[in-house]
Amino acid sequence: MKNIYGETIQDLEKYFESIGEKKYKAVQVYEWLYQKRVTDFSQFTNLKGETIERLKADYSLNRITIKKREIDELTEKYLFQLEDNECIEAVLMYHDYGISVCVSSEVGCNMGCAFCESGRRKKVRNLWPHEIVLQILAIEQTINRRISSVVIMGIGEPLDNYDNIIKFINIINHPKGIALGARHITLSTCGLIPKIKELSKLNIQINLAVSLHAPSDELRDKLMPVNKVYSITPLITTLKEYIEITNRRVTIEYVMLNMVNDTPECAKMLANLLKGLNVYVNLIPYNETSHLHFKKSSKERILKFYDVLKKEGINVTIRKEFGSKISAACGQLRSKEVQ
């Protein structure tokens, strides 16, 4: 049985037409689900009884379970249990401009980035659209507030789950759905070139963030196995094309690893690589974990790196640190409740 939270409004329009009903009922269902947040088909009072019974027969309203909630300053981490008992995590962050949620897209991850805790568990499966939507709904219900932005940056490589992610974006972006503007949705990828090309053709105005983390193939090969398939030069070419097609600025994510990729020479190489591109670099202080040997760059090394990029005319920011005390920071999420 399908979960109704994974259906786009177009899916529901086709469904109602297939059972001899008017397709406008899809909008009514969306209003109950996302605007009134009703979780019982019987309470969809503007639908006739036989339609409600048909919905009950064809769709579930099952939710995912919050197994654990941990709270740090300006950050909350949620461990969710799915219907097959697999677990994923999502993170809520309070910013001065609103509330954001970082959602997971897969159980486990196959990208195997050397510095990432989340990738220590191989991919078990993709998340279905409803399992991603329900991360948002469960958190909003818990805090009794609407979130203002979503980043698809939790466990998993979103573009490795492309179809389900596009469906998820459609659901949360729709004005009758969660109604998040496209520019309040950020998708983060380690650089799956064919899928970036596909994404560019959809004409959706979401934000694209690309995890680069090294300015040369030699170094990136060691840090990110994906580089052996999609190396830096074709990736940069693809980003140029993406920017031209979408007219959107791309974020370059760069995690700062002490004595690995944080030298002034690396900064100069990165600047040369990105010159003339409509991008900005987000320098991410590394979040250490007990299982991995990488160390966080000092504040001085990060600032020196930042200064080199600035002098070279590259737009750059240093990411504010969130949630490291509860292992909710970038690269620390797990899909399994284990040490």
Domain residue ranges in the chain: 2-60, 65-326
DSSP letter for each residue of 221-255: HHH-GGGGTS-HHHHHHHHHHHHHHH---EEEEEE
Task: Please tell me whether residue 94 adopts helix, strand or coil conformation.
Answer: strand
Determine the Cα–Cα distance for residues 40 and 32; give it in Å rounded to an integer: 9
190's tokens: 């380690």
Determine the Cα–Cα distance for residues 211 and 62; give it in Å rounded to an integer: 34
Say how far residue 109 (Cα) sits from the centre of its chain: 13
**Which of 13, 76, 89, 131 is an active site residue?**
89
Instruction: Kindly give the confidence (pLDDT) of every residue in the chain, 339 residues in length, as a single tens digit, with 9 standing for 90 and above.
Output: 999 999 999 999 999 999 999 999 999 999 999 999 999 999 999 999 999 999 999 999 999 999 999 998 889 999 999 999 999 999 999 999 899 999 999 999 999 999 888 767 789 999 999 999 999 999 999 999 999 999 999 999 999 999 999 999 999 999 999 999 999 999 999 999 999 999 999 989 999 999 999 999 999 999 999 999 999 999 999 999 999 999 999 999 999 999 999 999 999 999 999 999 999 999 999 988 766 789 999 999 999 999 999 999 999 999 876 545 545 444 444 544 543
Answer yes or no: are the C-beta atoms of 64 and 82 closer than 8 Å: yes
User: Domain 65-326: which CATH class?
Assistant: alpha beta
Read off the pTM.
0.93
Answer yes or no: are the C-beta atoms of 283 and 306 closer than 8 Å: yes
User: Domain 2-60: which CATH class?
Assistant: mainly alpha
**Which of 87, 113, 116, 330 is an active site residue?**
330
Tell me if residue 89 is catalytic.
yes
